[in-house]
Chain A
Amino acid sequence: MSDYSAIVMGMSAGGMEVLINIFLNLDKSFPLPVIIVQHLHPMHKSELPDILRRYTAMEVLEASEKCVVEPGKIYLAPADYHLLVERDATISLSNDEKVNYSRPSIDLLFESAAYVWGDKLIGILFTGANNDGAEGIKAIKKYGGLTIAENPDTAEYSAMPGSAVDTGCVDLIYSKEEIKLYLEKLSVDKL
């Protein structure tokens, strides 16, 4: 049995490259739900789930209001709504003001997930050119979860993972490939 209940991920500029790579070898048997905020370019707003489906055998969904998150599935935040997790592991969307100039905001996902899953949560922050997610990483750490940042030295855009690392709350600094392997290991460990 996995020690964890869920994974949350955040990515911004350069995130597409990450998304189409890290789930390649995973499928529906993956033991955890994965909830993702990717700052979207308006261009591929609603196509993101369709694109990602070509690169993984996990189930890919656009997160919908009140849906229950389940293992083996990837939930993507819809454009222009914040995505938050409720204590009953359902999803809430909100129209609140932008946070860090972003909607959806990574901080909001990470913070709400930290309250729900505490030490059963893994939070992973990838490439990006702003500093959304740093507060969220702090919250995950505070509530006992595991925090991972993509290595700013190898990330396509270093600012976002860099500001997370600067908080001093990141447990593991991994390259994209290492994160991919880590996820694959989680997938096997469940047995």
Chain B
Amino acid sequence: MKIQEIENIEISLLLEAIYGRYGYDFRDYARATVERRSRLFAKNTGLKSISELIPRIMRDEMFFERLVKEFSITVTELFRDPSSYKELKLKVFPILKTYPFIKIWHAGCATGEEVYSLAILLKQEGLYDKATIYATDFNDEALEVAKNGIYSIDNMKQCTANYLAAGGTDALSDYYYAKHESVIFDKALRKNVMFANHNLTTDGIFGEMHLVMCKNVLIYFNKTLQNKVLNLFCDSLIHSGYLCLGSKESILFTDVENKFENIDKGERIFRKITGTANV
């Protein structure tokens, strides 16, 4: 048997072991990344193969926790992909204004930059006060950072440029203050935000959302899991609710393709066109 076939079996066994022992289901994640991360993790912990990870994972919870962190890629930034924020502001906010209250779900919010970004725009448009915002991820460490809203000052120049491209009106610096090497976001921005642990592979729906943002999470899943999670979002949205995905993600060729219509040129903001009940 070729070495890469053996390694393919090893990675399957590892994911089964994790699922059986801890209930975390990575079996339908896009393999290439999970495999790369497992190889790196094995190498960095001085192990020679992926299968050597298995006995450690079975016996050592701390070791497992570290591997999960390795699988949770929390790379994010403020106003990432600014044109999608602009589209939200131009096309979705006017509709959201017509509701007496709104519920927004950031699924896979990582360290929270996306949550603060949207909150700022909601404030500027006078929508924040009637919003309840759920920010979820399965990585508690990332959620802790999100709750604090303190980020490195390094990237602020780029973020400010993105903010302007996203259609931000007043100065971004009105929403944070700088201290040492950090920027600390105004806690008023998270007044209406509830941070919670939610695992998209195993946990259920968040009901009656007006907008679900889930960016750069689905790319880490295979088709099967993408479909499952897209159905979860569809069921979590009100009739005519909006779904916003990452710039390389789409509902084309998925189960929910016919349950949404596309509302922007970039094809990443979708409006639900079926009823709330699952048809």
* A residues at B contact (CB < 8 Å): 64-66, 78, 81, 84-87, 92-97, 108, 111-112, 114-116, 118, 143
Taking a contact as CB atoms under 8 Å apart, the answer to whether B220 and A65 are in contact is no
A66-B33 in contact given A87-B8, A116-B4 (Cβ < 8 Å) = no
Contact B250 A65 (CB under 8 A): yes
Report B153 CB to chain A, min CB distance, Å: 19
Sample of 8 more A-B contacts, CB < 8 Å, known A78-B248, A94-B73: A65-B250, A81-B219, A84-B33, A84-B36, A92-B33, A96-B75, A108-B36, A116-B4
- Name the residue on B nearest A98 (C-beta): B75
For A97, list chain B residues within 8 Å (CB): 73, 75
* Cα of A96 to Cα of B75 in the assembled complex, Å: 6
Q: Assess whether A112 is in contact with B36, with CB atoms less than 8 Å apart.
A: yes
Provided the pairs A65-B248, A65-B250, A86-B30 are in contact, do residues A96 and B73 lie with their beta carbons within 8 angstroms? yes
List of B residues within 8 angstroms of A95 by Cβ: 73, 75, 216, 219, 246
Contacts of A81 in B (CB 8 A): 219, 248
For the complex, count residues of B whose C-beta is within 8 A of A: 22
Pairwise interchain contact A112-B32, C-beta atoms closer than 8 A: yes
Query: Which residues from chain A contact B36 at a C-beta distance below 8 Å?
Result: 84, 96, 108, 111-112
A143 to B2, CA, bound (A): 9
Which residue of chain A lies nearest to B7 when distances are taken between CB atoms in the complex?
A: A115
Tell me the complex Cα distance, A114–B250, Å.
28
Q: Are A92 and B2 in contact (CB under 8 A)?
A: no
Q: Can you name 12 A-B residue pairings with CB atoms under 8 Å?
A: A64-B248, A81-B248, A84-B36, A86-B31, A86-B32, A92-B30, A92-B32, A94-B30, A94-B219, A96-B73, A115-B8, A115-B35
Q: Is there contact, CB below 8 Å, between A65 and B249?
A: yes
In angstroms, Cα B31 to Cα A108, docked, is 13
CB closest chain-B residue, reference A103: B75
Q: How far is the CA of A98 from the CA of B231 in the complex (A)?
A: 31
Main secondary structure of the interface of B (DSSP, over half): helix
> A85 near B32 (CB under 8 angstroms)?
yes
Closest A-B pairs by Cβ, 9 of them: A84-B32, A92-B30, A112-B32, A115-B4, A95-B216, A92-B32, A94-B33, A95-B75, A93-B219
Q: Which of B30, B75, B216 is most buried by chain A, counting CB atoms within 10 A of its CB?
A: B30
- Given the complex of chains A and B, what is the CA–CA distance between A162 and B223 in angstroms? 39
| Contact indicator per residue, chain B 214-235, by CB within 8 Å of chain A (1) or not (0) | 0010011001000000000000
Q: Which residues of A contact B246 (CB under 8 A)?
A: 95
Residues B1-30 near A (CB distance < 8 A): 2-4, 7-8, 30
Q: Verify B33–A96 contact, CB threshold 8 A.
A: yes
Name which residue of chain B comes closest to A119, CB basis: B2
A96, B76: Cα distance in complex, Å: 9
A86 to B250, CA, bound (A): 19
A65 to chain B, nearest CB (A): 5
In this complex, the member of B31, B32, B75 whose beta carbon has the largest number of chain A beta carbons within 10 angstroms is B32
Known: A65-B219, A84-B33, A95-B219. A143 touches B248 (CB 8 A): no
Bound: A178/B97 CA distance, A: 62
Contact A143 B4 (CB under 8 A): yes
User: Do residues A93 and B4 form an inter-chain contact, with CB atoms below 8 A?
Assistant: no
List the B residue with the shortest CB-CB distance to A82. Answer: B33
What is the CB-to-nearest-CB distance from B223 to chain A, in angstroms, rounded to a whole number?
A: 6
Q: What residue in chain A is nearest B226 (Cβ atoms)?
A: A66
Looking at A64, A86, A93, A108, which has the most chain B CB atoms within 10 Å of its CB?
A93
